[in-house]
């Protein structure tokens, strides 16, 4: 059964192939998703134009997958809450209980999970 194509923003995307965020970008692309890497200092990752910030995103984002520390995501909380998000995945090391609670209050589904595992096991 083909899975639903989603628009997925990757917060903390890296151009380095050994980084999990880069591997997620590649696997999301391979599985047919629309991917928006987000990084303030990089312009292109895996052939995709990179958004410098969350405020550069427009339209609905089905999933925001987080690869930044809680200190960084806490600074971005208001921007994250203003997005039209379906869900947020906190990858290992990015867990942020305060942000997760704020998202829950806003009606956004959150998961503490590894995007790569979800993709590789058909649970994305």
List per-residue pLDDT tens for the chain, 124 residues long. 346 889 999 999 999 999 999 999 999 999 999 999 999 999 999 999 999 999 999 889 999 999 999 999 999 999 999 998 999 999 999 999 999 999 999 999 999 999 999 999 999 9
What phi and psi, each to the nearest 5 degrees, are found at residue 28?
Answer: -60, -45
Structural domain includes residue 58: yes
Spatial separation of the C-alpha atoms in residues 62 and 42, rounded to whole Å:
23
pLDDT of residue 38: 98
Structural domain range at position 103: 7-120
| Model pTM score | 0.95
Spatial separation of the C-alpha atoms in residues 1 and 10, rounded to whole Å:
25
Based on the structure, what is the number of domains in the chain?
1
Identify the CATH number of the domain in which residue 58 sits. Answer: 3.40.50.720
Structural domain includes residue 1: no
Structural domain includes residue 2: no
């Amino acid at each position: 059964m083909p899975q639903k194509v989603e628009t997925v923003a990757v917060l903390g995307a890296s151009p380095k192939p050994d980084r999990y965020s880069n591997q997620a970008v590649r696997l999301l692309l391979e599985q047919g998703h629309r991917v928006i890497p987000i990084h303030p200092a990089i312009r292109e990752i895996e052939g995709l134009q990179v958004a410098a910030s969350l405020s550069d995103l427009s339209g609905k984002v089905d999933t925001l997958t987080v690869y930044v520390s809680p200190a960084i995501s806490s600074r971005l909380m208001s921007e994250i809450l203003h997005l039209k998000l379906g869900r947020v995945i906190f990858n290992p090391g990015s867990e942020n209980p305060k942000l997760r609670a704020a998202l829950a209050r806003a009606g956004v589904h959150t998961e503490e999970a590894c995007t790569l595992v979800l993709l590789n096991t058909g649970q994305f």
